[in-house]
Amino acid sequence: MPGFDLAPGMADFIAEYAAATALSTADTIERQRRDYEDVVRRFRQPHPRGIGSDDFAVDGRHGPVPLRRYRHRDGDDSALVLFIHGGGFILGSLDSHDDICAEICAASGFDLISVDYRLAPEHRHPIQLDDVDDAFAALDHPRTILFGISAGACLAAALCHRRRAAVRRPAGQVLVYPGLGGDALGLDSYRANADAPLLTTADIAFYRGVRCAGDELPVDDPEFYPLAARRYDGIAPTVAQSAAIDPLRDDARVYVERLAAAGVVAEWIDEPGLTHDYLRARHACAAAGEAFARVTDAVGRLGAGG
């Protein structure tokens, strides 16, 4: 890819991704969703042996919230992973990251529950966060680890800020290529990686606008942009993993710096040579596979209280 130093295997992954779809924000939401389903089908992997799943729902303030539980036959119920999918708040479902969820469950040994939050533009901010919050409250596990990807990582961090002073709080969070509001801060990665493969700065601006009704964006609201928070104490221990070739790269770095300054245990892992959505490349690119192993290890450490 001209101008970017990609890890071996990533260029082929990106080419295969492009063969499925351009996934252009110039298309309608409906077309983007159909194209995204094509990407999901192209890269879907079988569940690891020993992993079972079942679907159910919990009551939420906006109606039922669909969930999918993954359980290893030799699993450990001392912690629960609450998975929050990505997709720019307009894409994704229980199926879009099904294989990734199954592999996280297998690697960590912990039960994992994926939440199917309502999507924009049919449902505007903060409905997505309300759905995640309602799922967290209904599941009521004393040691819940949040695992959020991209937009889902924003929701995970936002939930930690919403519940910062609550009795029931997440026990940890793993954020993978999180979008936390760095565009409002003018962070350098939005310029350096403005035209990065699979996610551009222009794409991020589009997704940001779809989340809200009207012209006013609540960029000073930590439930919309966690980097807008005034306080970071009381946030759960955090591992934030970014892709070096991603406009969102510096969101993870700055968020971890602010957490650490507030006395929160936090770690930033930047993955060289990788782009946004690299978890889908975990079986096609050795560097992506190693990055996936690092975040599943983080789940295990946080689940064990580390």
Task: Select which of 246, 250, 251, 277 is catalytic.
Answer: 246
150 is a catalytic site residue: yes
Catalytic residue (choose from 150, 250, 251, 277):
150
- Reference 125, options 58, 25, 230, 216; nearest CA is 216
Q: Would you say 293 and 107 are in contact if contact means Cβ atoms under 8 Å apart?
A: yes
Q: Is 141 one of the annotated active-site residues of the chain?
A: no
Please say if 62 is a catalytic residue: no
Choose, from 114, 130, 276, 277, the residue flagged as catalytic.
Answer: 276
For 100, residues 6+ apart whose C-beta sits below 8 A from its C-beta are 149, 279, 280
Distance CA 149, CA 155 (A): 9
Helices 29-43, 10-20: crossing angle, 10 deg rounding: 130
**In terms of residues, how long is the chain?**
306
| Residues 6 or more apart in contact with residue 301 via CB below 8 angstroms | none
Q: Which residues contact 122 (CB under 8 A, 6 or more apart)?
A: none
Tell me the catalytic residues.
150, 246, 276
